[in-house]
Amino acid sequence: MKLFPGARIGISALSGYVDNKDWFEEGLDNLRNLGLEPVIPKGLFRTKRYLGGGDLHRSSMLNALYADDDIDAIFFARGGTGVTRILDLLDWDTIRANPRVVMGYSDITALHLAFWHKFRMVSFSGPMVCRGWDTAGTSAIESFTEILSGGLGCEWKFKKSEFRVYSGGVAEGRLIGGNLTVLCGMLGTRYMPPIKDAILFIEEIMEEPESVDRLLSQLKLSGILDNVNAILLGDFSTCNSKGDKTGTDLRFALNSYFGNMNIPVVGGLPFGHIDDMIIIPFGVKARIDTGRRTLTLLERAVKLR
């Protein structure tokens, strides 16, 4: 369902614990400025080592938000790691019966993939309270307002500076992807959907180029890179080798896989671990046009009623 002024947004911590209360409060303020009402569950700030509480606690928090008829959407405090630990503990029957707008990125990639695999449920790769909404820029706000209000035909026109064409063309497909490490970690699990004829979007943070190379090799050997219609690369800016300020090693890794493909491939798009990101509706059909430098949604991402 589309979001409306006064919509109640349940905040969950499925991965790491809330590590910066100032960022958290700033993120809540930005959500309130959009006319939304954040709801803080009991135990949100619990910790267990690097996690936001134990596995049962984190899964129960999400299950309770889905069972609460007064909750319209679910956003996440931050990423980190931990979502894959709780997938077997989620109440999938309740989730199926009570669809919500769900938004997050990074480790939340695992949840997006599981939702799409089990239900073909559209969710949203976008800001989290401590990672994005705390410094929400115009890209997030504009795409949030248009996409989640039920707009049809939302289109991004990218600047030349944020649109590197590895291979040109026009292609359509459903937007599937997320964080590269999490995506590869889901391969071979019972929660991984088949990825075919999609527009694959991927991003990464703080991985050495050698690790990015290994992850991309895993995607290729899995058959995914050979079965998608287009590829969108988001932010990889923190993936340079130590001492390699020019990013030569990273460019080598990316060019090795994307430099000679016969499908549209573009890099430098504003999504991933950056402050001012666009919101990508996971599972929605879209069109990429490298000549026009546009990404256009071909379907509504939310139901109007």
Q: Report d(CA 305, CA 298) in Å as an integer.
A: 19
Q: Report d(CA 156, CA 247) in Å as an integer.
A: 27
Contacts of residue 66, Cβ cutoff 8 Å, sequence gap at least 6: 74, 91, 94, 95, 98, 100
Residue 305 is predicted with a pLDDT of 65
Residue 227 is predicted with a pLDDT of 97
Query: What angle do helix axes 248-258 and 209-221 make, rounded to 10 degrees?
Result: 10
> Are 8-136 and 155-297 in the same CATH fold?
no
Q: Report d(CA 122, CA 198) in Å as an integer.
A: 14
Burial (Cβ within 10 Å: 0-12, 13-18, ≥19) of residue 56: exposed
Enumerate the active-site residues. Answer: 106, 203, 273
Residue 147 is predicted with a pLDDT of 87
Return the number of other C-beta atoms located less than 10 Å from residue 190's C-beta: 10
> CATH for 155-297?
3.50.30.60
First to last CA, the chain: 6
Residue 52 is predicted with a pLDDT of 98
Contacts of residue 42, Cβ cutoff 8 Å, sequence gap at least 6: none
pLDDT along the chain (305 residues), means of 10: 90 97 95 95 97 98 98 97 98 97 97 98 96 80 81 87 95 98 98 98 97 98 97 95 85 95 97 93 98 96 79
- Residue pair 32/61 in contact by the 8 Å Cβ criterion: no
- 3-state SS class at 118: helix
Q: How far is CA 254 from CA 41, 155, 181, 231, 277, in A?
A: 41, 26, 15, 12, 21
CATH of 8-136, one of 3.40.390.30, 3.40.50.150, 3.40.50.970, 3.40.50.10740: 3.40.50.10740
Q: Report d(CA 78, CA 51) in Å as an integer.
A: 11
Residue 141 is predicted with a pLDDT of 79
Contacts of residue 95, Cβ cutoff 8 Å, sequence gap at least 6: 63, 66, 115, 119
Domain residue ranges of the chain, discontinuous segments joined by +: 8-136, 155-297
DSSP 279: -
Q: How far is CA 233 from CA 28, 264, 269, in A?
A: 29, 11, 6
Residue type, 220: K
DSSP 274: S
Residue 150 is predicted with a pLDDT of 79
Q: Report d(CA 105, CA 277) in Å as an integer.
A: 11
- 3-state SS class at 295: strand
- Residue pair 32/133 in contact by the 8 Å Cβ criterion: no
Q: Which residues pair with 167 in a beta bridge?
A: 265
Q: Report d(CA 71, CA 6) in Å as an integer.
A: 11
